Amino acid sequence: MPVRDSSRRRFLGGIAAGTALAASGVGHAGKAVARPTPPIGASPDELARDEAFWREVGAFYDRTKGVLNLEHGYWGKMARPVQDAYLDALRMVNAQNSFYARKDYAADEAESVHRIARALGAHDDEVVITRNATEACHNVIRQYRGLGKGDAVLIADIDYPHFKSHMHWLGDGRGVRVVEIEIPTRANQVDIRKLYQKAFESNPDLKLMLITHVSNQHGLVVPVAEVAAEARGRGIDVVCDAAQSWGLLDYKVADLGVDWVAFNLHKWIGAPVGTGALYMRRGSLGKVAPYPGDGGTEDMNVAKRVHPGTYNFAARLAIPAALDFHESIGTANKEARLRYLRSLWTDEAQHMPHLEVLGGKDEESWTGIGSFRLAGQTTIEEATKLQQRLETEFGIFSVVRKGLASGGCVRITPQVFNSADEIGRLVDALRDLAKSAISA
Ligand SMILES: Cc1ncc(COP(=O)(O)O)c(C=O)c1O
């Protein structure tokens, strides 16, 4: 099949070359690709403070115009080499159309799956690409088989709001009780473990729990492995939301110690929007039914847990380029830099009496993401007003988060291309908020 082979190899030969030769800077479609090169010998913490290196990283990104954008928790901007790979893939898919998609795409997607699995430390047959973490997590929750009348499921206020509502929907539909625990606005690993432990002891009917690795509310890190081990000992199944943590924290999927994990690639991995992944550990598929109508009920293929229909082929083809770029910076370096940028504002803000800072009590429990509110102003309306003031008076873009038991807050999420000086601008703005907070 010479035509078929050449159409695919022209494109994919490049992807494969990029994958194999990332270190030498040869990338997609055989083009030379520049990528950041961290200085040899610098520890992540030392590198986190090296503004010159992060300026070099920042030069790979196009910046938001007209505002200082500190809302990068929504999705992660593609670096330019990733965007180029994506656009090349888009052009190829559009030109080759069904001839490519029907004949050769599956083999190319397998390469993207392989790269995801490798980066997570998983087997290829434990991973299926999804459009986002929502698709991955909702499917596990909906297709979970282990619930009956009289059982209970567990969520926490810091979980992603739509995942909590999906658990409530599951509860309503199956006559299952939903238990929701509240995590304090500042917490550490011990606090969180104790709260889950108490919930397990008080609710012996628990069968399934949702656990969030990094909360979208304020970047709190949950000790997933410890809590999941305790849950497993009590016969409770665990689905983990790692939508916000992959690429933000340096870990492998085995470190989470759970059977089912929902990931995003379009946040901190920097792949095109429309890319996520579902991990299901080997041997764990029996408790989650195939997508309704897909496969026999005993089908043990992870791909059968998702039915995306027709999707964005090009976005998935660009996943290896995104992982190449991400890995060229290094996850540990990225984690340390983002933590540092967050500490630059939270270290100041937590001593400002007009503010309440939300998130980790210590570094182990925190990430690059943090949140705050004006002291005592917990309504969504007050948080919305605060977000708008930051934008209109100080030119800083952020986002309101709803869902915490303690009320609304404003989330600040820097990216690798933000500088320490930009965070300094935020600190000045936070200080200035005191004037109007006092006069209000
Ligand atoms: C913790 C967390 N879970 C789940 C999601 C949902 O991600 P997506 O909309 O990409 O599916 C998000 C998105 O911000 C999130 O932060």
* Cβ atoms 372, 409 nearer than 8 A: yes
CA dist 23 and 328 (Å) reads 8
| Token couple for 417 | 């291309």
Give the span between the Cα atoms of 290 and 298, in whole angstroms: 8
Q: What pLDDT, in 10s, does the model give residues 59-71? A: 999 999 999 999 9
Alpha-carbon span 292 to 130, nearest angstrom: 16
Cβ(367)–Cβ(222) under 8 Å?
A: no
Instruction: Examine residue 104 and state whether it is found in any structural domain, yes or no.
Output: no
Cα of 274 vs centre of ligand 1, distance in Å, is 12
- For residue range 105-127, what is the model confidence (pLDDT) as tens digits? 999 999 999 999 999 999 999 99
Beta bridge partners of 153: 178, 208
**For the chain, how are helix, strand and coil distributed in percent, rounded to 5?**
50, 15, 35
**By percentage, how much of the chain surpasses pLDDT 90?**
88
**Angle made by CA atoms 360, 415, 159, in degrees to the nearest 5:** 40
Q: What is the mean pLDDT of the chain?
A: 93
Task: Print the domain residue range for 285.
Answer: 111-323
Those residues with Cβ within 8 angstroms of residue 50's Cβ, 6 or more apart along the chain or in another chain = 39, 42
Give the range among 3-17, 202-216, 388-402, 422-436 with minimum mean pLDDT.
3-17
Q: What does the pLDDT read at residue 6?
A: 41
Q: Is the CB of 216 under 6 A from ligand 1?
A: yes
Within a domain: 98? no
Three-state DSSP class for residue 210: strand
How much is the pLDDT for 26?
Answer: 43
- Top mutation candidate among 74, 130, 131, 132 for ligand 1, by most atoms within 8 Å of CB: 132
pLDDT the model gives residue 27: 52
At 195, the amino acid letter reads: L
Residue 277 lies in a domain: yes
Instruction: Judge whether 272 lies within some domain.
Output: yes
Ligand 1 binding pocket includes 217 (Cβ within 6 Å): no
Ligand 1, atom 1, lies closest to the CA of 216
Q: What CATH number corresponds to the domain at position 248? A: 3.40.640.10
- Please check the confidence at residue 224 and state whether its pLDDT lies above 60: yes
pLDDT at position 156? 98
- Determine the Cα–Cα distance for residues 383 and 406; give it in Å rounded to an integer: 12
State the sign of the Cα–Cα–Cα–Cα dihedral 178, 179, 184, 188.
negative
Q: With contact defined as beta carbons under 8 Å apart, do 340 and 363 qualify? A: no
Q: Is the CB of 237 under 6 A from ligand 1?
A: no
Which residue minimizes the CA distance to atom 7 of ligand 1?
133
Considering the domain boundaries, does residue 199 fall inside one? yes
Give the tens place of pLDDT for each residue, 240-258.
999 999 999 999 999 999 9
Task: Kindly report the protein residue whose alpha carbon is nearest to atom 5 of ligand 1.
Answer: 243
Q: Give the Cα separation of 369 and 409 in Å (integer).
A: 13
Amino acid at 370: G
CA distances to 188, 207, 221 from 142, in Å: 31, 14, 25
CA of 133 to the centre of ligand 1 (A): 6
**Calpha distance 99→89 (Å, rounded):** 14
217-253 CB burial, b ≥16 within 10 A, e <16: bbbbbbbbbbbbeebeeeebbbbbbbbbbbbbbebeb
From the list 228, 226, 193, 195, the residue with the least C-alpha distance to 210 is 228
The Å distance, Cα 216 to ligand 1 centre, comes to 7
- C-alpha 332/C-alpha 336 separation (Å) is 6
pLDDT of residue 24: 34
Is the confidence at residue 349, as pLDDT, over 50? yes
Q: Read off the tokens for 56.
A: 């070099």
Sign of CA dihedral 300, 241, 85, 44: negative
pLDDT (mean) for 286-300: 87
Q: Report the pLDDT value the prediction gives residue 19, as an integer from 0 to 100.
A: 33
In this structure, the strands spanning 276-280 and 127-130 are antiparallel
Q: Give the position, in ligand 1's atom list, of the atom nearest the Cα of 73.
A: 14
DSSP string spanning 360-403?
Answer: ESSGGG--S-EEEEETT--SHHHHHHHHHHHHHHH-EE-EEE--
Establish if 182 belongs to a structural domain: yes
b/e sequence 318-327, b meaning 16+ C-beta within 10 Å? bbbbbbbbbb
pLDDT band per the 50, 70, 90 thresholds, residue 299: confident
CA distance 180 to 186: 18
* pLDDT given for residue 437 in this prediction: 54
Q: Assess if residue 295 is contained within a domain.
A: yes
Looking at the structure of the chain, the number of domains it has is: 1
Ligand 1 site, residue 139, Cβ cutoff 6 A? no
Return the percentage of the chain with pLDDT > 70, whole number: 91
E-assigned strands of 196-303? Answer: 206-212, 237-242, 260-264, 276-280
Say how far apart CA 34 and CA 425 lie, in whole Å. 30
The verdict on residue 309 lying in a domain is: yes
For 420, the token pair is: 């320490």
